[in-house]
Every structure is written in structure tokens, then in C-alpha cells.
Amino acid sequence: GALFVGEKYEVLSEIGQGGLGIVYKARHLIADRLVAIKLLLPGKHLDKKTIVRFQREAKTAMGLKHPNIAGVQDIGIHNQMPYIVMEFVEGDPLKSYIENDSLTDTQKLEILKQSCLALDYAHKDGVVHRDIKPANIMVSTNSDGSLNVKVIDFGIAKILDDEGTDLTQLTMMGAPMTPN
């Protein structure tokens, strides 16, 4: 039988896996549109604090409305596993374009421009992406040949107040840099 997340979403296929969960391509049953669902998998990392933080950050990401940001549309819990529903983005990650070395200089600049517009918008709204990388920048080609860029995965965003103070009290991973 078909796999359903909650009562609203039919899972069509797996898109990818990350450190904390799986991302699925799914169909919103009522609206009859494609969505991407990120489902946090059970494990040591999935404690109550992590779930609360995930939901809080997903709610913040829901407020980001920009043509170069894949919007968060819904959040929920399915079989004790939190999930976030995002706009499904056609295209390929920038990572694959880099690996294939298939972009012109003009296209590279256009991708950079659209990515910066998205991040600037989010920063002005007090949201920092925290995981910007080629795998989180989706690129598609419009019918006229122009590129369309969407920054994805604001689910681990860092929320800042007006003074730039970290309100999430997230710990930084890795060691501090020291000068040579």
C-alpha cells in the first residue's frame, strides 16, 4: 500500500537522506500539488528538546516568503516523528552543476545573485540559514532559458533577535579557528 504522512500527504518517492532524517517527494492530497517532506528519524538526537527546537525553527521558516526560498508549508508529527513540509522544487542541486562543470560564468553569477537575494531577505527577517552549501541551492531552467534558484532547508535556521543575540542557544559544532 501507499505510504502516507499524516492524513494529508501521500509519499511518492525518496529524494534523499541526511544526518537527521529522510526527505520525500509527496503529494498534498487535498491541494493536489507536489511537496517535499523532511521526516526526522528516531535516534539519540530525537529528544524532546530537539523536537521543540525543530518545530520552533520550522514555524519561523514558514514566515519566509521570497521567490528564491523554498517555502515551508506545514509541520507536524507522524508516528512520534516530527516532519516539515516544504515547497517541492524542480531542478537539480547546485552541487551537481559544479561536479559536471556545466555552468557559464554568466550562469554562475546569476545563481550567486539569486542565492544572495534569498539570504539577504532571510537575514533582514532575523533568520540565518546555518547550512548554506551547494546541496541546499536548487537550480532549474525556465522555458526561456533563464535560471531559477531556490535556497532550501531553512529547517535548521538560527533565530536572531534585533541585537543579533542567539535566542536558540544552539551549540556550535567543531573547534574554534586559531590563527597560525
Q: Provide the edge-to-edge strand list for the sheet that holds 147-151.
A: 92-93, 137-141, 147-151
Whether 24 and 88 have beta carbons less than 8 Å apart is answered as no
Amino acid (one-letter) located at 118: A
Pairing of strands 127-128, 137-141: unpaired
Give the span between the Cα atoms of 68 and 152, in whole angstroms: 9
Whether 117 and 68 have beta carbons less than 8 Å apart is answered as yes
Give the span between the Cα atoms of 154 and 148, in whole angstroms: 18
Question: Is 101 annotated as catalytic?
Answer: no
- Catalytic entry in 125, 131, 153, 162: 131
Give the span between the Cα atoms of 69 and 87, in whole angstroms: 9
Q: What residues act catalytically?
A: 131
